[in-house]
Chain A
Amino acid sequence: MNLWAIFYRLREAREGIARNTWASVATVVLLTLTLLMFGGFLWLNANVAQVATLLERQVQVRVFPVEGTAAETLLTQLQSLPGVRGVELLEGELVYEQLAPVFGRETLMNALPADAFADSLSVELEDPSQATPTVEAMRRLSGVGDVIWGQGFAEVLYRISNGIQKGGVILVIGFFIAALLMSLTAMQLAVLNREVEIQIQRWVGVGPWGIRGQFLMEAFLLGLFSSILAGAVFLYLGEVIQQVIISLVPFMSNQLTSPMLVIGVVLVTGPVLALLGGGLACQRAIGMGDK
């Protein structure tokens, strides 16, 4: 296909879109919604998975003694447990001073209870993958109150992430099918409206792919327009949501997945989805052969 062919196809596609205004608008709206849903789930999932991975790497276990028990008294018992490499005493005041620059003193004061910075013990494990039985053994020790284990939280996050993935995938597939059908219908209308044009193109010797090219170009433009709309929404909302998350959880500032990645995926997905619909419509109406 030479440059003039692209120029003429673009012109015809633009005229076609203008001719079927309402079908085109409906296609763009549905495609944009589908892409927003798709991108939204993609981004949410990427971030939840990112946080879970981050927490999973934090295999240190924090042990808090029950009220009235000094943290130092648990040190030897914990050290003697199988699977424990080392135990370190963390003085509450010191921990507070370490966290304050990261989270901000005000955030810490507002978000956590007053006894949150009691003395505790940090336990390093020999094999993080075998953490569960060691943690259970710690919980059974007398004088041990709470055991906070990063991986436990990570597992919860993974469960949430899986839930989002499953629900999201079903929803996205539903929207994908709806968008595909919409694009198929819009293209079928376009083909029907241009029956005479298709005949004339055949008579002057345009091959099936040449005829199809015009409709595929139209579908591509609809898909691209939808992608750009969805991408613009992500660009704006992505920044806003990121700022909100960072203001709530400052340590996440370097951990969030950039919305640019999602925008890239959305920009490719829209035209591909529309081209699929356009291709199906053309195959039905124009056929494949050049008899």
Chain B
Amino acid sequence: MSSIDEIAGRVSAARDDAVARGETFYPGPSRVHLAAFPPKERWDDWVELESKDWPRRTERRYTLVPTTCFNCESACGLLAYVDQDTLQVRKFEGNPEHPGSRGRNCAKGPATINQVTDPDRILQPLKRTGARGEGRWQPVSWDEALDDIAGRIRRAIEEDRRDEIMYHVGRPGEDGFTERVLASWGVDGHNSHTNVCSSGARAGYHFWTGIDRPSPDHANADVILLVSSHLEAGHYFNPHAQRVMEAKQRGAKLLVFDTRLSNTATHADVWVSPYPGSEPAILLAVASHLLRTGRHDREFMRRWWNWQEYLAAEHPDLPQDFETFERVLTELYAAYTFEFAAMESGVEPDVIARVAELVASAGTRLSSHTWRSAAAGNLGGWQVSRTLFLLNAMLGAVATPGGTYPNAWNKYVPRPIHVPPHPAVWNELTWPLEYPLALNELSFLLPHFLKEGRGKLDVYFTRVYNPVWTNPDGLSWMEVLTDESLVGLHVALTPTWSETAFFADYVLPMGLGPERHDLHSYEQYDGQWIGFRQPVLRVARERHGQRIEDTRQVNPGEVWEENEFWIELSWRIDPDGSLGIRRYHESKARPGTKLSVDEYYGWIFENSVPGLPEAAAAEGLTPLEYMRRYGAYEISSGVGPVFEQAVPADALADIAEDRFGRVYTGAPAPPPLNLVPMASPEPDAHGRRPVGVRVDGTVRRGFPTPSGKLEFYSGTLAAWGWAEQAVPGYIRSHIHPDTLEPDQLVLISTFRLPTQIHTRGGNAKWLDELAHTNPLWLHPADAASIGVDTGDLVRVETEIGGFVVKAWVTEGIRPGVVACSHHMGRWKLAGTSGQRQAMATVDLERRDGAWRMRRLAGVAPYRSTDRDTTRIWWTDVGVHQNLTFPVHPDPVSGQHCWHQAVRVRRAAPDESYGDITVDTAKAHQVYRQWLERTRPATDHSPDATRRPYWLMRPLKPARQHFGLPEQGVTSAD
């Protein structure tokens, strides 16, 4: 051995030893590792200079504790710097051990410290004392609140009024905990925000793959095609943006479809600004180009599309072979020429041709993505994701390096300690008969359902969710929330004041990211990881030898965390176990006693996360200790094309096969450790479960669709009354030019500000300082015709009212379209408390049947425990436009179609900034009009069920409760 190899061996052995000890061998910044993080072996005692003492060099000692950001859904890792002298968090930085965010954060992550120290945050349980919305509160003990709420829930369960219990969640930030709580209560009361957010996009992906989210491998793509700026500039901003930029740095092309010049579009190689809703026309033109030029992956399509099913259903008289299918497909999309797409979209044909060529050049390295944006803006928006994924399916860029994966293969939801059964009840307030194919609850129609007398709520939880402000038609929400005959008890679980919490009976302070436990996993690359959110002060104190039994011991004020809250509430609902609820919240180690969060997560980490116990043992830790120390664990990377995996022989017993190759087995399925949500195709007539699909003689795992293949042709859509939409197609939007009056424009209202995050960002002073207004984007041509310039006030009139906002004249938007950002326009009623950095004070009155809101004051400096509040220099907080939008439920996906046809004019002299008018009677009329577009299960169900059983549903009732109700009966029971 040469001396050089002796030295090399020495270095290598030293690194191995360091890694085995859980230490960092190369701490500090380096171009070799791009690392500049505190080495993990020094997280117990990290020294930094006190910045406020500069120029004196005062050393401060910190305990560094990982947790997860609770702002958007990315779940980026944070590292809390807990001051050892004060045992308070001083700052948050990125967690280098987190596989998704890799030590990086957007502005929202470090701003968590603002939320923790927000002088206006809610620190104790409050109970309403006056009328709902009057703003009078008194402190109440947790015991009193829990007993009251639990008593009502128990009575509702005992009296079989389970549908009167509802939990309404914004972004959950966890994977399935609360669904299981509701299941343990036997309640079908889960209500998510998803139909105002992503259900349109989800539906399109789901009809293709049986999985409702994509996982684009941006980092390895040659071409990145985004029909949105949403996730890359908002939701999965940090994990996605860093990977998009990596791809760009090595030469990948970025194509962005966005009517507005978004942050993402500014980085694009090709920015396409289509007329809103025309995106599928462009995508189909690209698809047609691929077919015409023979650039599609014939072999992938032949093996993995359900083309046989399509030919059998739609062209039974033609030869049933792939060549015929290719010919039919080419003819099917022949009308989608570049010229047609240009006519629909207003984008030049040569630009569309360039996009088509770039897509064709990507081969299997096309990563594509859409979320909200066009899919959430338009009638038929679900066809945006369906036509986008069509391109991946044509190129074979499915679960390939640089392609797009179904998210279920890049996500891991470990089996928990208890799994309650599916509830034996169907809640029609969330899953009405008119929307049998909706992927998520018709959450935003709740006020109209209640007004129509479809039901009522006895206990309604809003959990870190603000429908009065976030949803369309917020004043209809306010009307039902103030009607105690419709909503008996409203419990707002929230860390901060919101427009919805004002109308609660109890406001219960919930923990922020560093004050609560949650477990989650999100698709951000081709790998599976879990992230652990944890109360960092609890962990820091435990590291210093203290024993913490209840997170309220360490959280500010009486702020609690949700897991302990739900366990405690469940025990109080069923104190003696007679309802069968308590057993799902009991310790396994000590039967009959309450389950602790340590046991809950310890059991999961010990039993349901492959590799974690071994990784922990290698460092002399228990799995729970490992997760408390590092905050994340990567289970696998390079998962690859799961659908291609051959089904093992022992899973193929007593098999049956249909004529298209779907294979069913009588062999029982082993209980899965990974409970990631995906569709559940139905068994065959003899009860055999679908196990795979035969492809060229081999039974492969395939996709969780009825056919086991990628469903170009959705037999489900065809069977449930939507045969004309069974293949990827183009639905003209409700704001298509043909539907507009000559003086109308289109308003885009869905886009995000990268430094805000709905209600959750409003209690962060740094974020408020960065972004606190939402002017109306207006093209110079439109501004000229209206006669306004930047800064002038304009009134935007919708179907049910209008709002007054400032104009921003920009070429960053196409003519005929205006745009106004969500996230802004927070308000509080005069005389009520609220979040003073982000909320304007308003007067709200009802006159002649219409609501009128006027802004009394913007924000202003004020004295508080935080001296920075005296330095607030801005007064503007934007305008709450969502109040003026009626509901537009898509008849297939159930997604609210956000785009609005509006008229914009110069504001009249008596109109002021922030003025809002709304007619909720008109809003109800619009709801009724959109309801007429539906094709209800009662008229179109092919099998007397309410909904295709195989479709995903966040909380799924038992199979026998899918039956259509008998006439005049509104519940399956």
A and B are partners in one complex rather than unrelated chains: no
Residues of B within 8 A of A (CB): none
